[in-house]
Structure 1
Amino acid sequence: MSLTFASGTLEIRGVPHDREASVPASVPVPGLAWDDRTMCYRAPAVAYADVVRWLVAAKIPYEDDARRYPTLDAGARVHREPRPFQSEALSAWRAQRGRGVVVLPTGAGKSHVALMAIDDKRRGSLVVAPTLDLVRQWIDVLQTTFGVHVGLVGGGDHDVQPLTVTTYDSLYLHAEHLGSRFGLIVFDECHHLPSAAYSLAARACLAPYRLGLTATPERADGREADLAELIGPVAYRRDIVELSGEYLAEYETERVSIELSPEEREEHDTERAIYRDFVQSHGIRMSHPSGWGEFIMMASQSASGRRALAAYRRQRELAFAPKAKLEYLEYLLFQHRQDRAILFTQDNATAYGIARRFLVPVLTHQTKVRERSAILKAFAEGTYHALATSKVLNEGVDVPDANVAVILSGSGSVREHVQRLGRILRKKGDKRAVLYELVTESTTETFTSERRREHSAYR
């Protein structure tokens, strides 16, 4: 028998073919089927480990022309003493044959677990991250730890090395070529993986060892269940409340209710009524996944629709940044003038508005990489004591000096709220962190706040 990697799939030749059955009963491999075009059995590349284990268990000799990944003979040159829970996580992952998800809070050292896993398996390894900022951080830590040149695929580069870092988008584009070149894949922020395109890329890779890292695997669409197939089941999990104090900074959360002024309340309710009337009269269910797209489509077709869209935006603006909320933010900035505060908003417009009013730097997806690096460096050095952002600091970016977070607005996502809390929890000396959630009462923010606080870290 022989195994060959072909464009994200595994070709298995030499298995007797029964034309009455698409899959021989003797080969217990998910997704295996006969391919009449190439006259061989074919399976997704992700089935490689199952096929090899079956061949070994059945004592069937085979030629493996599928795997093209090297070994890392030298291993790590820098060894940092792991925390007990990091060692436990590695052991749990090993117990699952080197496949599975490790769930640890932001700031708890998930990347160190990955470094230990790479050193443990010593196979060509690919790290997949959602953003180029995270890619750069991974390249730095891999080069420091292993003392070798680290490859990069993405952002205009295509340099494949035994240790390589890429983005989810680039893996999707190049999986058919990269899929056989790595024995271990680390999926950072792996809650991104179950999307339709990214999951195809994961299935097109044969890596027998897979490690997923995330602080919150749960997804709004429930597709976190797919992680068991794409990476492996959850191997180890510790939450914020279990690690705060000893391994994460002590913290407290405070929910502050903000009332609209009489004038703001009248305008808010009027604008919301216009928007709601349009939605209801057209039978649009905004809670449905297609609701927003349907609303935009219908709104573009008439003057009343365009008015409803403007009303929707205006009632959100009033909920996100009413006068009293900005005045309270001014009070918080004065109270924490010696601290490092991150001001989180739901949208760029609010972030830029806060930056102009309080003369603080702002980070959005529009901020250039060099400018972002300069702002974060000045923030760490104390040149800036506060910065405003919309979503780019939700995950991945390391800001250990931050100890105050102010949530002015956001989505109802539990993950987003936990990630924002995680930005201020990195242990540094006797740092104590505080998160303020400013909620405009009797608006959609009230319900949003209740939804996003459904996590043990806020109970």
Structure 2
Amino acid sequence: AYNLGLSATPERDDELESGLGENSSEYDAGLLGQELGPIIFELSVQQAFKQGILPEFEIHHYGLPLVDSERERYDSLSRRLRDVSSELRELGHRYGFHDANITSRTQILAKREDQLGLVARQHIALTTQRKRLLYDAQLRSCAALVILRQEFQENPNTRAMLFHESIENVMLLYHELLQEDFPVAVEHSGLTTSLREESIGLFRQGIAQVIVSVKSLVEGFNVPETDIGIVVASSTSVRQRIQTIGRLLRKKQGGATATIYVLYMHDTVDEIIYEKADWDNLLGAERNRYFLWQEDGTVIEQEQAPRFPLPTDQDLPLEVLEAGDEYPGAYEGVEYTSDSDGNVFTNDGALVANPQDVPEQIRKVKGSYGRFKVTPKRRYILV
């Protein structure tokens, strides 16, 4: 007997947030991969579009500037975060953590009652402050209001869904829309179940033409009549972005085109999501348009995305690499640990049979044993 799992995005959020889970080998080693087995079939967005499963759509990516005071604080937080990250890596080596990506483990390290735990907590605090600064950026709500005004001017019957990352920001945006006389409803986990159901009902019926929600509405919500979506703020999770886009990719009467507006803060860590996935390849270059929003409100279209993913191991043949060089590709693959006794272990502590001279090769390159990754296709060892 077999169990068949069906998922739009089988990767877990924590894997995607840390840069993991972006390929099948990491899925296979993860929780769902272990429980359900390997992925046996994948249907890409482009394939679904060609087969007529998805409607026509466009995604407009708007890079917004931080105002001067925000930019100054952002740069200050980023400098402090770089210093704390360096200290975290140095302390990690002293305590036996030789992971180049140790900053992705701060939640676990923060539970320690030593200097490493203290620095990990500092790292979390600074990361949270910077994230909060970006979520609160002044031009996010300004741009969302401009877009809504334009859409309602062109079509007074527009139905729009707006997404943000925090309840506080959702409520601020909701009140701004009320002041502008938009027929708007709000939905988030801080409301009672009855109020949430009422808000969703008002939107489904068209009484409320706009609904503002925290990401809780992303999963399990479907209104085919929705015309536009505005991602006012989001995490750098590819999974969440795909789910948000999916709320609008439903067949509409008359074959109308859905438009999705994605707002991000230009020249900040908001752009990391464009390094995690090639959105032109994922959704189709003809469906993605990129813009830079100026402080005076003018918008300039760009030729390409703000960033691009690093090449995979398949893109890097062995002849272009030398042992000990900085790896120019994505830090991808299944993670292992080596020790001075010549052993190699999986993440769950299982001993790997016949590791050959891998631990010694790792020591020669990085000066110590510890964690490393094996890339999914060409089996390169990354330390």
Taking structure 2 as the reference length, the TM-score comes to 0.57
Residue 210 of structure 1 aligns with which residue?
3
Unaligned ranges ≥5, structure 2: 13-19, 93-99, 179-183, 286-383
Match 1:358 to one of 177, 180, 186:
177
How far is 1:408 from its partner? Answer: 2.3
Amino acid paired to 1:396: G
Answer yes or no: is 1:273 the counterpart of 2:55: no
Q: Deviations over 1:310-364 (max 9, x none)?
A: 5433322232232222211111111223322222223333333322332343323
Question: What is the SS of the residue equivalent to 2:233?
Answer: coil
Answer yes or no: is 1:334 the counterpart of 2:149: yes
Amino acid paired to 2:259: V
Q: What are the within-5 Å matches in structure 2 for residues 95-114 of structure 1?
A: none
Answer yes or no: is 1:385 the counterpart of 2:209: yes
Residue 138 of structure 2 aligns with which residue?
323
Unaligned ranges ≥5, structure 1: 1-207
Answer yes or no: is 1:371 the counterpart of 2:176: no
Change (3 A) 1:235 1:417: same
Amino acid paired to 2:158: D
How far is 1:309 from its partner? Answer: 5.4
Is the contact between residue 351 and residue 389 of structure 1 (CA under 8 Å) also seen in structure 2? yes
Residue 443 of structure 1 aligns with which residue?
268
Is the contact between residue 231 and residue 262 of structure 2 (CA under 8 Å) also seen in structure 1? yes
Q: Structure 1: how far apart are the matches of 2:263 and 2:274?
A: 9
Residue 122 of structure 1 aligns with which residue?
none
Q: Structure 2: how far apart are the matches of 1:286 and 1:361?
A: 42
Q: Deviations over 1:273-305 (max 9, x none)?
A: 233323333337765542244357689987x98
Q: Structure 2: how far apart are the matches of 1:276 and 1:420?
A: 31
Residue 345 of structure 1 aligns with which residue?
164
Is the contact between residue 355 and residue 362 of structure 1 (CA under 8 Å) also seen in structure 2? yes
Larger RCO of the pair (alpha carbons < 8 Å, separation 6+): 2
Change (3 A) 1:229 1:294: closer
Q: What are the within-5 Å matches in structure 2 for residues 42-441 of structure 1?
A: 208-219=1-12, 220-221=20-21, 223-225=26-28, 230-231=35-36, 233-244=38-49, 246-283=52-89, 288-295=103-110, 311-337=126-152, 338-359=157-178, 360-429=184-253, 430-441=255-266
How far is 1:434 from its partner? Answer: 1.0
Counting strand residues as a fraction of each chain, which structure ranks higher? 1
How far is 1:259 from its partner? Answer: 0.8
Q: Structure 1: how far apart are the matches of 2:233 and 2:132?
A: 10
Is the contact between residue 107 and residue 124 of structure 2 (CA under 8 Å) also seen in structure 1? no
Q: Structure 2: how far apart are the matches of 1:248 and 1:264?
A: 39
Is the contact between residue 253 and residue 436 of structure 1 (CA under 8 Å) also seen in structure 2? yes
Structure of larger gyration radius: 1
Q: Structure 1: how far apart are the matches of 2:186 and 2:42?
A: 34
Amino acid paired to 2:173: I
Is the contact between residue 412 and residue 452 of structure 1 (CA under 8 Å) also seen in structure 2? no
Aligned length: 251
Is the contact between residue 54 and residue 249 of structure 2 (CA under 8 Å) also seen in structure 1? yes
Amino acid paired to 1:438: L
Residue 456 of structure 1 aligns with which residue?
282
